[in-house]
Amino acid sequence: MSASAARHTHSHDHGIDANADRRYLGAALALIVGFMAVEVVIGVVAGSLALSTDAGHMLTDAVAIGLALVALRLAARPASGSFTYGLKRAEILSAQANGITFLLLVVYFTYEGVRRLVHPPDVDGGFVLVTALAGIGVNLLATLLLRRANRRSLNVEGAFQHILNDLIAFIGTAVAGAVVLLTGWTRADAIAALLVAALMAKAGYGLIRESGRVFLEAAPRGCNPARIEADLSELPGVAGVHDLHVWEVTSGFPASSAHVLVAPDRDCHASRVRAEQLLAERYQIRHTTLQVDHRDTKQALPMPTRRAN
């Protein structure tokens, strides 16, 4: 006589102290918006593309942090109705939006940087240098705030990457301002803008790639489904494992499901408990759905679906 058991196990620690993250993000947002307004005015007065680039980047910083705050609030809502996982993937949508924003800005600032290399305008190096030094201080403080938030979340990591890239941009802008001030070589301003655009491209690509993995339900990085299948198959009494799936609901929230066949003389419930323990302890997967059945001795065993490395 065969028996089957299926169970969902839930981890309530999917990560983070959302209230603390909201405080850090809110404080960083206030710093960025205040300084951005000052930088826009000075960038226009000084005629600096590097400062204008930084101001545009700071605008995306503010938008990124604002999106992150909204996503945190949405993700905290409990599951209800047709949203059986709640709105946890709002954080991944936010991360992807941040990555796309990076790449759009890269196109614009690359175009402007090349144009100004060919036809360099007048740039007030003193204005650029002083403003950039102030920007370094503001962004350093904002970076330190976001470092204290939960960066395992792609949502928070997206906001952090915006701020970190802006800090690096201000350092480059300060160098460009000093070069213009000391030598009068105004092309340094455009070169600084192009370097910032390259950093933005790298960060944007990384965010889109990682958020895309979550949307496509790829296994978490460092998690080998073939190895998991092999480990489950080696449990006492397990005759076969198939239809194994491993994915992330959102960053830091891995989940899995599988159909496990056990020998006719084995207890399905005990086998399921052992499988859940293995997934939790060895792979930190605590949200599992396992269907456990007795193997029909008249049927051939299912072939392994994956090859372990």
Count of domains in the chain?
Answer: 2
pTM beyond 0.85: the answer is no
Residues comprising the chain, all counted? 309
CA–CA distance, 38 with 131 (Å, rounded to integer): 9
Are 230 and 202 members of one domain?
A: no
- Nearest CA to 189 among 58, 51, 50? 50
CA–CA distance, 260 with 244 (Å, rounded to integer): 9
**Pairing between strand 253-262 and 4-9?**
unpaired
Are 285 and 162 members of one domain?
A: no
Three-state SS letters, 54-102: HHHHHHHHHHHHHHHHHHHHHHCCCCECCECCCCCCHHHHHHHHHHHHH
Residues 6+ apart with CB under 8 A from 33: 62
In a domain, 159, yes or no: yes
In a domain, 26, yes or no: yes
Are 62 and 206 members of one domain?
A: yes
Are 82 and 151 members of one domain?
A: yes
- Nearest CA to 197 among 78, 255, 116? 116
CA–CA distance, 196 with 173 (Å, rounded to integer): 9
In a domain, 269, yes or no: yes
In a domain, 51, yes or no: yes
Mind listing the pLDDT tens digit of every residue in the chain (309 residues)? 344 444 444 443 444 456 778 888 898 999 888 888 887 777 777 776 666 666 766 777 788 888 888 888 888 888 888 888 888 899 899 889 888 988 988 898 899 889 889 988 777 788 778 888 988 998 899 988 888 887 778 888 888 888 888 788 888 888 988 998 899 888 898 898 898 889 889 988 998 999 999 999 999 998 999 999 999 999 999 999 999 999 999 988 999 999 999 999 999 999 999 999 999 999 999 999 999 999 876 555 555 656 555
**Pairing between strand 4-9 and 238-250?**
unpaired
In a domain, 299, yes or no: no
Are 35 and 103 members of one domain?
A: yes
In a domain, 276, yes or no: yes
Are 225 and 210 members of one domain?
A: no
Are 112 and 48 members of one domain?
A: yes
In a domain, 10, yes or no: no
Which is it for the CA torsion 229, 234, 236, 240, positive or negative? positive
In a domain, 300, yes or no: no
Are 123 and 248 members of one domain?
A: no
The domain in which residue 147 lies consists of: 18-215
> What pLDDT does 234 receive?
95
Are 127 and 269 members of one domain?
A: no
Domain boundary among 185, 215, 245: 215
Domain boundary among 215, 248, 279: 215
Which is it for the CA torsion 159, 163, 165, 166, positive or negative? positive
**Pairing between strand 287-294 and 238-250?**
unpaired
Residue with tokens 């949508």: 93
Are 128 and 192 members of one domain?
A: yes
Are 192 and 62 members of one domain?
A: yes
> What pLDDT does 108 receive?
85
- Nearest CA to 130 among 138, 122, 119, 141? 138
Three-state SS letters, the chain: CCCEEEEEECCCCCCCCHHHHHHHHHHHHHHHHHHHHHHHHHHHHHCCHHHHHHHHHHHHHHHHHHHHHHHHHHHCCCCECCECCCCCCHHHHHHHHHHHHHHHHHHHHHHHHHHHHHCCCCCCHHHHHHHHHHHHHHHHHHHHHHHCCCCCCHHHHHHHHHHHHHHHHHHHHHHHHHHHHHHCCCHHHHHHHHHHHHHHHHHHHHHHHHHHHHHCCCCCCCCCHHHHHHHHHCCCCEEEEEEEEEEEEECCEEEEEEEEEECCCCCHHHHHHHHHHHHHHHHCCCEEEEEEEECCCCCCCCCCCCCCC
